[in-house]
A and B are shown apart, each in its own frame.
Chain A
Amino acid sequence: MFFFIIQHTMFFMIPLIIVALGGLFSERSGVVNIALEGKMIMGAFVSILFITTFQDRLVGQPILLIGILIAAVTGGLISFFHAYASINLSANQIISGVAINMFAPAFAVYTARLIGNTQNVHFTNQFRIESVPFFGDIPLIGPMFFRNTYITTYIGIAILIISYIVIYKTKFGLRLRACGEHPSAAASVGISVKKMRYIAVILSGILAGIGGLVLIIPITTVFNGSVSGYGFLALAVLIFGGWNPIKILFAAFFFGLMQAISASYSAIDFLRDLEIPAHFYRMAPYIATLIVLAFTSKKTIAPKALGEPYDAGKR
Chain B
Amino acid sequence: MKKYIFKSENFLDFLSSLFVIFVGLLIGFVILLISNSSAAPNAFLTILTFGYTSMRNMGDVLLLATPIILTGLSVAFSFKTGLFNIGASGQFTVGAFLAIYIGINATDIPSGLRIILSILVAAIGGALWGAIPGFLKAYRNVHEVISCIMTNYIAMFLVNYLIITNILDTGRGTSLPVPASSNLPTWGLEHIFRDNLRASHVNIGFFIAIVIAIVLYIVLEKTVFGYELKAGGFNKNAADYAGISGNKNMVLSMMISGSIAGIAGALNYLAGTGLSMSIVDNLSMEGFTGISVAFLGLNHPVGIIFSGIFVSSLFLGGARTQIFGFSVEIVEIVMSVIIYFCSFVFLVKTFLSKNFKKSEKEEVL
Contact surface of A with B, Cβ cutoff 8 Å = 32, 34, 81, 85-86, 89, 91-92, 94-96, 98-103, 105-107, 109-110, 113-114, 226, 228-229, 232-233, 235-236, 239, 277, 279-280, 282-283, 286-287, 289-290, 293-295, 297-298, 300, 307
Contacts and interface: CB of A to CB of B under 8 A. Distances in A.
A200 B281 CA distance: 30
B87 to A, nearest CB: 12
B128 interface: no
Contact of A99 (B36, B141, B337): B337
Contact of B282 (A95, A103, A228, A283): A228
A91 B343 contact: yes
Size range of the interface on B?
35 or more
B151 interface: yes
Contact of B344 (A91, A103, A235, A287): A91
Contacts of B332: 102-103, 105-106, 110
Interface string B249-263: 000000000000000
Contacts of B347: 89
A114 B281 CA distance: 24
Given A98-B288, A106-B336, A298-B140, 19 more contacts: A89-B346, A91-B343, A95-B340, A98-B291, A99-B337, A100-B340, A106-B330, A110-B326, A228-B282, A229-B153, A239-B146, A279-B157, A279-B160, A289-B150, A293-B140, A293-B142, A294-B140, A297-B140, A297-B141
Interface string B99-126: 0000000000000000000000000000
B186 interface: no
B278 interface: no
A279 B268 CA distance: 24
Interface string B316-329: 00000000001101
Contacts of B161: 277, 279-280
- Which of B145, B158, B160, B329 has the most chain A CB atoms closer than 10 A to its own CB? B329
- Which of B142, B156, B337 has the most chain A CB atoms closer than 10 A to its own CB? B142
Contacts of A92: 343
A107 B340 CA distance: 14
A194 B31 CA distance: 31
Contacts of B36: 114
A114 B337 CA distance: 20
B136 A290 contact: yes
Contacts of B337: 99, 103
Interface in B327-365: 327, 329-330, 332-333, 335-337, 339-340, 342-344, 346-347
A109 B331 CA distance: 12
Given A110-B329, A282-B157, A294-B140, A94 B149 contact: no
A96 B154 contact: no
A98 B344 contact: no
A103 B330 contact: no
A279 B333 contact: no
B70 interface: no
Contacts of A100: 336, 340
Given A106-B329, A279-B160, A297-B142, A89 B154 contact: no
Contacts of A229: 153, 156, 281-283
Contacts of B150: 236, 286-287, 289-290, 293
Given A277-B161, A293-B140, A109 B339 contact: no
B84 interface: yes
B245 interface: no
A43 to B, nearest CB: 17
A interface: dominant SS: helix
A34 B149 contact: yes
B86 interface: yes
Contacts of A103: 332-333, 336-337, 340
B146 A293 contact: yes
A99 B149 contact: no
Sort A-B residue pairs by CB-CB distance and give the 3 closest, nearest first.
A91-B343, A106-B332, A103-B336
A298 B86 CA distance: 22
Contact of A107 (B158, B160, B333, B343): B333
A141 B344 CA distance: 53
A96 B149 contact: no
A226 B161 CA distance: 20
Contacts of B181: none
Contact of B329 (A86, A113, A232, A298): A113
Contacts of A232: 149, 152-153
Contacts of A95: 291, 339-340, 342-343
B129 to A, nearest CB: 12
A106 B288 CA distance: 13
B281 A290 contact: no
Contacts of B333: 103, 106-107, 110
B247 interface: no
Contacts of A282: 157
26 contacts: A34-B149, A86-B343, A89-B346, A91-B343, A94-B86, A94-B145, A98-B288, A102-B332, A102-B335, A103-B333, A110-B326, A110-B330, A113-B329, A114-B326, A226-B282, A228-B282, A236-B150, A279-B157, A279-B158, A279-B160, A286-B150, A286-B157, A290-B147, A293-B140, A297-B141, A300-B141
